[in-house]
Amino acid sequence: MTKYFLLLLLASASYNSLQGQNYVSIDATDRPEDIVRKAASITPTDRQLNWQKLEVTGFLHFGINTFTGMEWGDGKASPQLFNPTNLDTDQWVRIAKESGINLLILTAKHHDGFCLWPTNTTEYSIKNSPYKAGKGDVLKDLAASCKKYDMKIGVYLSPWDRNASVYGSEAYNEMFRNQLAEVLTNYGRIDEVWFDGANGEGPNGKKQEYDWASYYSLIRKLQPEAVIAVMGPDVRWVGTETGYGRDMEWSVVPANNLEQNNIAAGSQQQMNIKPMGDMREKDLGSRDKIMKAKGLVWYPAETDVSIRPGWFYHAHEDAKVKSPEKLLDIYFNSVGKNGVLLLNIPPNKEGLIHSSDEKSLLGWKALRDSIFSHNLLTAKGVKLVKSPVRKSVKEDKNLIWTTKKEEQELQFEYVFPKIEKFNVLQLGEFIKWGQRVEKFDIEIKKNGAWESIGDATTVGYKRIIVLPTVEAEAVRIRVLESRVKPFIDKIGLYYYKDAQKLAGE
Ligand code: FUL
């Protein structure tokens, strides 16, 4: 075997060995091209991949605040105040399902510490409320409704607890683990655990040293498929609560605390510690950023926003529910920017989703259906005259497009049988094999001449860009820059007749 061949073999072996691994450390000897190859080669864990495919998820902020009108309760409101008159979790899940939401996260405990399930860890819970004479359990009802409607379920458990007397001491870690154990044991399968980083104690407030590692290992033990979000290792907060993600959104980001002992302690050789660093910057994962990293991790973005100004229900916000067009714009800028949307829909004092929210949600779903049901690129008579290499992925029954050689431009050229009008482009990468596209553009042919109408940087799981409304006889979509080689699995071109209604952030 020649030395050259052996080197090639080694290079491809190390490249392949990263498949199924969501972190990699950077060695001092790595050259820039090695770092790029490593970034291209790390992939989501199964739980991260399954979560990403949900695309649209829902948040249910409900609790004692619903009855006091607060956003952040101080933990002193009487449990007697919690008394929904008509609580119907079937209604929540039915509306979510009809809106295309695929997972619902309940605020089982918000910062005030009030628990929506009859916990053994504190008296501050639904069991001391008049609701169902203390026999109610909102998490149980929601879990049953989710099962009925085939909806995934998640729990939000606020680490910051303004009611617990032990908050600020080691005993709180024990209490919090017990709360986790209750919600993760008694309600069937849980698909997401959401830890909030918020804490308003201020400089003179109580300080809690959270034992995150023990929380994570408990979750992995009790619900191994669940992603741990925000203050957790699997899913990162996008960095704003507007619903508008980044133009350049990398799921592969530097993690400078990839300490070998921590990694070894991680389950299944997957990243099991929360990567550190400010995740709110504009650029998290460009070549510039990864060159300075000590390690790289697959850490995708979740974009949370409320359908109303507040997170909890307030009657005075009934006229301020986001319109279907606003929600569509948010969808384009969250799911369409390589994120998962987490849209909050707060039930009211009755324990129901208000009709204004329902109307908006259903209107939003109808808009998405009408736009995306008609892909101009797969319409009758359209010819794909220039096509990248097609590759079939057996285990996924999927067909993807790629290039023959590394670093090559990937190009699609479609010719329409008649002039077509469009203004929305959708692309997607086969992220099971990593995120790679760094730059793409779109050109149209009009009266025989080509002109560029838009470009962008990252694609990731899904990228949607709204273009100027154009009419064209042919269209060209090109991946101009990529890490190693791209794997494209979604391509579509659509027309939205009210694109001028997309007001932006
Ligand atoms: C924030 C919290 O402080 C808000 O009340 C809300 O729960 C939001 C989703 O996260 O950090």
Distance 251 CA to ligand 1 centre (A): 23
Beta strands in 190-248 (DSSP E): 192-195, 227-230, 236-237
Contacts of 284 (CB under 8 A, 6+ apart): 246, 249, 250, 253, 254
Report yes or no: 432 and 391 within 8 Å, Cβ to Cβ.
no
Distance 277 CA to ligand 1 centre (A): 20
Per-residue pLDDT of the chain (505 residues; tens, 9 = 90+): 344 443 334 344 334 446 668 889 899 999 999 999 999 999 999 999 999 999 999 999 999 999 999 999 999 999 999 999 999 999 999 999 999 999 999 999 999 999 999 999 999 999 999 999 999 999 999 999 999 999 999 999 999 999 999 999 999 999 999 999 999 999 999 999 999 988 999 888 999 999 998 999 999 999 999 999 999 999 999 999 999 999 999 999 998 765 555 554 544 445 567 777 777 889 999 999 999 998 999 999 999 999 999 999 999 999 999 999 999 999 999 999 999 999 999 999 999 999 999 999 999 999 999 999 999 999 999 999 988 888 888 777 678 999 998 878 899 999 999 999 999 999 999 999 999 999 999 999 999 999 999 999 999 999 999 999 999 999 999 999 999 999 999 999 999 999 988 988 8
Domains of the chain: 48-243+300-372 (3.20.20.80), 376-501 (2.60.120.260)
Distance 198 CA to ligand 1 centre (A): 7
Q: Which residue in 40, 43, 18, 44 sits closest to 407, CA to CA?
A: 40
* Side-chain half-sphere exposure of 320, counting CA atoms within 13 A: 10
d(CA 414, CA 424): 15
Mutate to test the pocket of ligand 1, among 64, 68, 161, 196 (most ligand atoms within 8 A of CB): 196
Mutate to test the pocket of ligand 1, among 70, 201, 311 (most ligand atoms within 8 A of CB): 311
In three-state secondary structure terms, 250 is coil
Q: Which residues have C-beta atoms less than 6 Å from ligand 1?
A: 71, 196, 198, 304, 311
Q: Which residue in 44, 42, 50, 52 sits closest to 334, CA to CA?
A: 52
DSSP string, 110-170: -TT--BSS--SS-S-BGGGSSGGGGT--HHHHHHHHHHHHT-EEEEEE-S--SS-TTTTSH
Write out the two tokens for 363.
């209107």
Going from the C-alpha of 88 to that of each of 140, 242, 467, the distances in angstroms are 12, 29, 42
Residue 34: in which H helix or E strand, if any?
helix 32-41
